């Protein structure tokens, strides 16, 4: 879909569809008042008689409004001005997208960017409109034999800016929105692919494709023999039962000078059966989504590279399957991690932390400024927080707070859980330095406690996205989260 920005008075716009906001109770926006004036009260008459009261999600399509050059005018309900916030703005764009698909217009001009949101400027509104529109148009039919033709709906959306001075701001917002949408869509595609296609080797190929596409990206893929030489016994213990070789993927984006990089570590279990501690059969197909942390790293690096941001970022992806086999790791086995710490594996279904701990040790090689790991790590996270926010824990409060702040800006929310020393006792082992599980209590926290043993050399935060990486049920599919959050964090770092 094509996006543009323009500055002008609504009655002078020659367009297939002019989009005007109406708030409650029956209150025309600034653009609506201008249209009402040139149409001798056409809009206010409709509103007075109750055709449109401005409720959120309400739309009313009008044809050939007097005094205007537009073929149609679409009135969109915006709710009460005092209730307007980031979430309600995105819901308005969502209802707009649905309405535009059904009116037959190929292009439209929107004045919804006039909506006032406390603390959010025209750049934010335009960028988030682009992301929301692209989100609503995403569909995954790559593996269907009967591919449907895309609907002949809207192809171009022009968004209004207050004056010509804001045109460059709007164009930059569109660039960012398109880049972030590309990253989100890549993360969704990778998540939605089945495990027999999206293997560790396939993830490595996607990383190599980034290398070939963007001059600022350099990718290195370590094979199992390389990991063995590095002493990554923990990671390799997870791949032991799979015929698919594990990969450790390192992607470096060099956009800045010599400053230390932001380092993102994404869990890449391309299918998780639980191993010997096998999962129940119901919904096990959704364990193809256990690589969504890796997908979010690839998506974020794609967005950063498309925007050509002047910053250094490293992405590290430990990729493997977790399957039962005669060679698979058994409960009670003890392995040695790259850090030298020994781990008693009491449950082979707690495998994400086993691959992440070696990747987090490897991350120190890049002398990182901060390290953020992203993982569909614990079902306990869904019990604790549901499917609205991701969980965040870490050893550096300013980093955690920055992630919370960035998430609020893009409606990709996170909630902090405690990482207190008292929880570390739950990981005691009689036979090794540490156990890989801590029992039923505080499962998300003890998983992060485990990872914290391997992150003492740098500032670190952990995002548990088990409840947010995909939607289950009739609308099953990857969400692309937290690409928006991670990209916003990088953008915020550039502004700080």
Q: Do the Cβ atoms of 152 and 103 come closer than 8 Å?
A: no
Rounded Cα–Cα distance for residues 332 and 237 (Å):
12
More confident residue, 104 or 411: 411
Rg (CA), the chain: 25
Q: List, in sequence order, every beta strand (DSSP E) within 44-134.
A: 59-63, 72-80, 107-110
For residue 422, the surrounding DSSP H or E stretch is none
CATH value of 2-161 in 3.90.1300.10, 2.60.120.560, 3.40.50.2300, 3.40.220.10: 3.40.220.10
SS3 at position 485 = helix
pLDDT for 102 equals 83
> Does the pLDDT at position 104 exceed 90?
no
Q: Do the Cβ atoms of 436 and 343 come closer than 8 Å?
A: yes
Q: Which two tokens stand for residue 1?
A: 């879909």
pLDDT for 151 equals 60
**CA–CA–CA angle 208, 355, 452 (5° rounding):** 120
Catalytic pick among 353, 409, 453, 481: 353
pLDDT for 383 equals 97
> Does the pLDDT at position 152 exceed 80?
no
Q: What is the mean pLDDT of the chain?
A: 96
pLDDT for 10 equals 95
pLDDT for 103 equals 87
Rounded Cα–Cα distance for residues 36 and 43 (Å):
5
Task: For residue 279, indicate whether it is catalytic.
Answer: yes
Catalytic pick among 26, 27, 91, 279: 279
> In the chain, where are the structural domains located?
2-161, 178-495
> Does the pLDDT at position 148 exceed 90?
no
Q: pTM (2 decimals)?
A: 0.96
Q: What average pLDDT score do residues 53-71 get?
A: 93
Q: Do the Cβ atoms of 93 and 129 come closer than 8 Å?
A: yes
> Does the pLDDT at position 496 exceed 90?
no
- Domain 178-495 fold is Aminopeptidase (3.40.630)
**CA–CA–CA angle 400, 403, 404 (5° rounding):** 90
Q: What is the pLDDT of residues 343-352, one digit of tens each?
A: 999 999 999 9
pLDDT band with cut points at 50, 70 and 90 for residue 150: low
Q: What is the pLDDT of residues 355-371, one digit of tens each?
A: 999 999 999 999 999 99
pLDDT band with cut points at 50, 70 and 90 for residue 98: confident
> Does the pLDDT at position 33 exceed 70?
yes
> Does the pLDDT at position 72 exceed 80?
yes
pLDDT for 147 equals 75
Task: For residue 353, indicate whether it is catalytic.
Answer: yes
Q: Percentage of the chain surpassing pLDDT 70? A: 99
Q: What is the pLDDT of residues 34-51, one digit of tens each?
A: 999 999 999 999 999 988
pLDDT for 324 equals 97
Distance of alpha carbon 329 from the chain centroid = 32
Rounded Cα–Cα distance for residues 404 and 414 (Å):
6
Q: Do the Cβ atoms of 60 and 114 come closer than 8 Å?
A: no
178-495 matches 2-161 in CATH topology: no
Q: What is the pLDDT of residues 181-224, one digit of tens each?
A: 999 999 999 999 999 999 999 999 999 999 999 999 999 999 99
Q: What is the pLDDT of residues 378-392, one digit of tens each?
A: 999 999 999 999 999
């Amino acid at each position: 879909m094509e996006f543009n920005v323009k500055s002008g008075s609504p009655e002078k716009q020659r367009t297939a569809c002019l989009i005007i906001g109406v708030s409650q109770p029956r209150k025309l926006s600034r653009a609506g008042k201008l249209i009402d004036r040139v149409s001798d009260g056409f809009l206010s008459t409709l509103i007075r008689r109750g055709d449109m009261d401005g409720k959120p999600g309400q739309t009313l399509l009008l044809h050939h409004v007097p005094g205007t050059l537009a073929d149609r005018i679409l009135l969109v309900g915006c709710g009460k001005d005092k209730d307007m916030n980031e979430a309600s703005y995105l819901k308005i764009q969502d209802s707009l997208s649905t309405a535009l698909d059904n009116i037959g217009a190929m292009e439209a001009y929107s004045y919804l960017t006039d909506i006032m949101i406390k603390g959010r400027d025209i750049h934010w509104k335009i960028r988030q409109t682009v992301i929301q529109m692209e989100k609503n148009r995403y569909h995954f039919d790559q593996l269907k034999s009967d591919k449907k033709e895309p609907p002949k709906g809207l192809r171009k959306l022009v968004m209004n800016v207050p004056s010509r001075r804001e045109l460059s701001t709007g164009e930059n917002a569109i660039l960012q929105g398109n880049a972030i949408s590309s990253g989100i869509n890549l993360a969704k595609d990778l998540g939605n692919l089945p495990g027999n296609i999206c293997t560790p080797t396939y993830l490595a190929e996607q990383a190599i494709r980034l290398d070939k596409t963007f001059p600022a990206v350099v990718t290195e893929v370590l094979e199992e023999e390389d990991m063995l030489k590095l002493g990554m016994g923990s990671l390799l213990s997870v791949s032991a039962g799979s015929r698919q070789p594990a990969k450790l993927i390192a992607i470096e984006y060099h956009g800045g000078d010599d400053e230390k990089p932001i380092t993102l570590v994404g869990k890449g279990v391309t299918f998780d059966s639980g191993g010997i501690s096998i999962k129940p059969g119901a919904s096990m197909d959704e364990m193809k989504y256990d690589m969504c942390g890796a997908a979010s790293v690839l998506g974020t690096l794609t967005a950063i590279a498309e925007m050509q941001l002047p910053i250094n970022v490293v992405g590290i992806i430990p990729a493997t399957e977790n399957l039962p086999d005669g060679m698979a790791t058994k409960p009670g086995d003890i392995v040695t991690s790259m850090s030298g710490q020994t781990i008693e594996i009491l449950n082979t279904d707690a495998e994400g932390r086993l691959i992440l701990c070696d990747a987090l040790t490897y991350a120190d090689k890049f002398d990182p400024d901060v390290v953020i790991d992203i993982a569909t790590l614990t079902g306990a996270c869904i019990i604790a927080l549901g499917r609205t926010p991701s969980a965040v824990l870490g050893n550096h409060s300013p980093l955690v707070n920055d992630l919370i702040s960035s998430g609020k800006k893009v409606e990709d929310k996170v909630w902090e859980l405690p990482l207190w020393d008292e929880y570390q006792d739950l990981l005691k082992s009689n036979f090794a330095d540490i156990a890989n599980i801590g029992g039923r209590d505080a499962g998300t926290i003890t998983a992060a406690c485990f990872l914290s043993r391997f992150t003492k050399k740098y500032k670190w935060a952990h995002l548990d996205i088990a409840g947010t990486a995909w939607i289950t049920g009739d609308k099953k599919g990857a969400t692309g989260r937290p690409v928006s959050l991670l990209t916003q964090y990088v953008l915020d770092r550039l502004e700080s």
